[in-house]
Amino acid sequence: MRYVLIAKFSELTGYSDKAVRRKIEDGVWIQGVHYRRAPDGHIIMDLEGYAKWVEGQRGPSNRSGKASGSSSRGAARAA
């Protein structure tokens, strides 16, 4: 199963409901990458997107302050 509700996600990962919602509010987890909204409005967590985040592949937004992959892009531009 790829998508789960926050309660199940919390059970699987150890993140509290509040921590999940805070990461969403803070933009750490991105809609369409790490979670989706179901037609009824529920937040559905994407386990594949979460796994990529854990592995350091954050997708289009990197809130750590470091540019993701910036050195390789800079090197490509300089070449």
DSSP-assigned letters across all residues of 8-47: HHHHHH---HHHHHHHHHTTSS-BTTTEEE-TTS-EEEEH
* Residue 41 domain-assigned (yes or no): yes
Across 20-26, average pLDDT: 98
Residue 72 counted as domain residue: no
Domain boundaries, position 18: 3-58
Distance (Å, whole) CA 46 – CA 57 = 14
In a domain, 27, yes or no: yes
Overall number of domains in the chain: 1
Q: What is the predicted pLDDT for the residue at 22? A: 98
Cα-based torsion angle of the residue sequence 23, 25, 28, 31 in order, rounded to the nearest 10 degrees: 110
pLDDT tens digits along 36-61? 999 999 999 999 999 999 999 755 55
Of 6-10, 14-18, 49-53, 75-79, the least confident: 75-79
When mean pLDDT is compared across 12-21, 33-42, 51-60, 63-72, the lowest value belongs to: 63-72
pLDDT for 60 equals 57
Residues composing the chain: 79
What mean pLDDT is predicted for residues 51-73? 61
